[in-house]
Structure 1
């Protein structure tokens, strides 16, 4: 296991925009985070504006020249959007094609038709995991919760028994598996290998989702027994389509980018020759942008055309998929700007210096930092990006596997105990017709289980690699 007793020379440290001492840098970091928390939670300011103001406060308290703070912030935005923006856009297009074509409903209907009553919670976590791969968390909730309500209503299930597994599958994918914004931004900040992170992310996400989903829901349903609210059960819009994509074609399309990226990771592990033709092909085809682009192009035919969409309808679907992600891109970019300000101010190096000699796992430290930011801001994405910037110096001498585990630890911490300052908390509460206490006993506790259980898996994996 990698510990924080790594010696670093001054030449290896990140370029600093201030020569402030450790105490001043610590106060600056806390002040910047406190401002972000206050603006988001108390004044309900958009996270993009809060992160921008917080970055300026951080630099000012650290005693850095304002022009250099602005340069660090803007360069961080540029680097983050450049590395993740296209991937987020392509993921949004694929998710919209999946939803509008009825492909998501095809997956749902096929699996549910083959599932017994006892197996229904397991079917729901499987559905959420598959559908959640290319979808943003909020989009996945909006898409799947109506399905959960329908299943609970028609099958006379406890809403918690079938709903928690679906939410667990979505949340695990959101926290650990690219192309979701948080993992992508953390991979960029920590300079981790995407293929290795993807492989380990799936390895951790699957058992974690099972424990926090089907297994936990059995207990949670005894604590909170609610039925699907009548006014929330919707009509299935996909039933209005003349035809839908086939189940196999839909599954292949959804899993295609994941398969391509995993194939690249396996080739990189098995072949260590940059001149090898197989490795060069894998490097191109398995690159995240190319893998997602291939999936989108394939999806136009296997999803859009299969549903009877003409050129105009496909163009409209693509256009509508890009509009809602503007806010996501701004938040991710601003988070990258805040991260870069932290790094250039020397906060990351300060943490490394202060914790030098501590016999604590870097994975555990990354998780704890993300937990604190998550509890304060309520945003998993903000927590992931901010924590990744703080712990990035720890990855300097790590292997690719341990760097990936550090990324996943940050993602795990970002999911800890969703509560009243998280929009997802209220979304689940309203859809499920629960009060605040019931939502805490189900949704909040489920998120905490995902965070803690995944941390344990990551610590175990760090002993193996």
Structure 2
């Protein structure tokens, strides 16, 4: 470690402190503007010329948006079609309608796991709330469960959605890490799913069964009536105890929507799994087919994240959107609205790409590599810890992932290896932990289920932290076995 390397590490520490301060201070900088401002400051402090700093900002932001931004946009539109067409409700009810008693949390976790593949945490939770409330209400009326049935079913839902959101592509966070660390996408997905299953089980049904009898969590009755009523099926035992619906459901602006065609179960499941299947097929082709096989370039093309997500979007658009009877103008307006919700995320991703590029061009990345090598730190633990601290202090999972990726990128000389894929998962897991009052998801869960601050900490924050710890333990275990 040279004196210059130590200086660069001090600049990095100051940059992280400045980033946290700007986002959390009274100024309340948007993470995008904070990232850009800190990036410029880092470049200047490291001795970069203004022209070089400008080039780094443009290249870093443009590169990450080109690889992740378009995929994220298609993912947002896919999620909206699945929700508006009723496909997600169809999948969820298919999974849980026949479940009873002790099996309910496991089925709920399975439903959230499938729905969580293309959907962000907050969106997936909102989509699943009607199902959680209606099934919890049904369970509560049986008198056979001692505790809060709402928390009993919320725990596996939160665990599954958060695990997929942070650890498994094609979610934007893991995709950013895949791109920045040059990891193999298909391998990362396979390993991510392997790590996700035991993580969801422990943080969801297992912890949920333990915590539900210990917290008196009961949402506001009017909110339960609204969601359970909207989510109830006609004539099934999942129906809420309310008067029969006498008119079609109203849209968000109070206008009654036209009657829609029922969504075939096969179409609903296919639309969710198309992107994942295409990306995994590409991985299997690389392992099983010869390089000269004419099928390989076709599967390589369809397995690219942007193409796979676009294909899933088109399947959903025609098989679910137009087929459901939704007017074309309503579909277009809904898709446009879905893009508004991810605009802020896109900007944060761009700012993170700029920050990462500055770290590389200024030589800070190499200084981190030298320090980590000299200290003999486990790279998986280091990536997890950096993402955990940044996510907790900034209130943004995305900021945690993009900053940790930039810091750890110099340590992954073997891009595309299993170890690189495990590092992606460890960083994603770190970004999930300690989800507290500065995270939007914390308040969404707290208010939706009528929790006190203490109840939300013991349930939501604890679940997310269990996911985070297990999300680190699994990569460490797999790393030692290989």
Q: TM-score, normalised by structure 2?
A: 0.88
Choose which of 51, 61, 69 in structure 2 pairs with 1:67: 51
Asked if 2 retains the 8 angstrom alpha-carbon contact of 1:20 and 1:63, the reply is no
Choose which of 161, 170, 180 in structure 2 pairs with 1:179: 170
2:288 equivalent in structure 1: 270
Asked if 1 retains the 8 angstrom alpha-carbon contact of 2:124 and 2:161, the reply is yes
CA 46–150 in structure 1, closer or farther in 2 if over 3 Å, else same = farther
Q: Distance in 2 between matches of 1:69 and 1:155?
A: 59
1:444 aligns with 2:428: no
2:450 equivalent in structure 1: 433
Q: Distance in 2 between matches of 1:66 and 1:140?
A: 43
Structure 1 unaligned runs (5+)?
A: 1-18
Q: Distance in 2 between matches of 1:209 and 1:440?
A: 18
- Structure 1 stretch 84-93 or stretch 133-142: which is displaced more? 133-142
Asked if 1 retains the 8 angstrom alpha-carbon contact of 2:183 and 2:415, the reply is no
CA 49–146 in structure 1, closer or farther in 2 if over 3 Å, else same = farther
Choose which of 428, 434, 445 in structure 2 pairs with 1:411: 428
1:245 aligns with 2:245: no
- Structure 1 stretch 187-196 or stretch 355-364: which is displaced more? 355-364
1:56-95 aligned at under 5 Å gives the runs 56-95=40-79
Asked if 2 retains the 8 angstrom alpha-carbon contact of 1:31 and 1:57, the reply is no
- Structure 1 stretch 20-29 or stretch 34-43: which is displaced more? 20-29
Asked if 2 retains the 8 angstrom alpha-carbon contact of 1:149 and 1:159, the reply is yes
Choose which of 32, 35, 46 in structure 1 pairs with 2:15: 32
1:381 equivalent in structure 2: 398
Choose which of 317, 326, 332 in structure 2 pairs with 1:315: 332
Asked if 2 retains the 8 angstrom alpha-carbon contact of 1:159 and 1:225, the reply is no
Alpha-carbon deviation of 1:151? 2.5
Q: Distance in 2 between matches of 1:83 and 1:398?
A: 16
Q: Distance in 1 between matches of 2:42 and 2:394?
A: 16
1:96 equivalent in structure 2: 80
1:326-376 deviation per Cα after TM superposition (whole angstroms, max 9, x unaligned): 111111111111111122222221111112244332212211111221221
Choose which of 196, 209, 222 in structure 2 pairs with 1:218: 209
- Structure 1 stretch 418-427 or stretch 404-413: which is displaced more? 418-427
Q: Aligned to 2:261, what secondary structure does the other structure show?
A: coil
1:273-422 aligned at under 5 Å gives the runs 273=291, 275-397=292-414, 400-422=417-439
1:109 equivalent in structure 2: 93
- Structure 1 stretch 66-75 or stretch 282-291: which is displaced more? 66-75
1:4 equivalent in structure 2: none
Q: Distance in 1 between matches of 2:354 and 2:153?
A: 40
Q: Distance in 2 between matches of 1:377 and 1:341?
A: 20
Q: Distance in 1 between matches of 2:313 and 2:373?
A: 46
Q: Distance in 1 between matches of 2:392 and 2:440?
A: 13
Alpha-carbon deviation of 1:37? 0.9
1:167 aligns with 2:188: no
Q: Distance in 2 between matches of 1:20 and 1:382?
A: 29
2:25 equivalent in structure 1: 42
Q: Distance in 2 between matches of 1:248 and 1:152?
A: 26
Alpha-carbon RMSD: 1.9
Asked if 2 retains the 8 angstrom alpha-carbon contact of 1:254 and 1:295, the reply is yes
CA 449–150 in structure 1, closer or farther in 2 if over 3 Å, else same = same
1:15 equivalent in structure 2: none
1:411-434 deviation per Cα after TM superposition (whole angstroms, max 9, x unaligned): 111111111221211111111111
Asked if 2 retains the 8 angstrom alpha-carbon contact of 1:106 and 1:245, the reply is yes
1:142 equivalent in structure 2: 126
Alpha-carbon deviation of 1:165? 0.6
How many aligned residue pairs are there? 447
Q: Distance in 2 between matches of 1:169 and 1:280?
A: 34
Alpha-carbon deviation of 1:272? 4.7
Q: Aligned to 2:17, what secondary structure does the other structure show?
A: helix
Q: Distance in 2 between matches of 1:446 and 1:179?
A: 22
- Structure 1 stretch 365-374 or stretch 379-388: which is displaced more? 365-374
Choose which of 229, 232, 243 in structure 1 pairs with 2:223: 232
Q: Aligned to 1:55, what secondary structure does the other structure show?
A: helix
Alpha-carbon deviation of 1:316? 2.5
Asked if 2 retains the 8 angstrom alpha-carbon contact of 1:130 and 1:254, the reply is yes
Q: Distance in 1 between matches of 2:307 and 2:373?
A: 40
Q: TM-score, normalised by structure 1?
A: 0.92
1:195 equivalent in structure 2: 186
Q: Distance in 2 between matches of 1:356 and 1:110?
A: 51
- Structure 1 stretch 305-314 or stretch 21-30: which is displaced more? 305-314
Alpha-carbon deviation of 1:292? 1.2
Asked if 1 retains the 8 angstrom alpha-carbon contact of 2:422 and 2:475, the reply is yes
1:120 equivalent in structure 2: 104
Q: Aligned to 1:356, what secondary structure does the other structure show?
A: helix
Alpha-carbon deviation of 1:387? 0.2
Structure 2 unaligned runs (5+)?
A: 141-147, 232-247, 250-258
CA 159–95 in structure 1, closer or farther in 2 if over 3 Å, else same = same
1:23 aligns with 2:23: no
Alpha-carbon deviation of 1:207? 1.4
Alpha-carbon deviation of 1:382? 0.6
Q: Distance in 1 between matches of 2:416 and 2:329?
A: 48
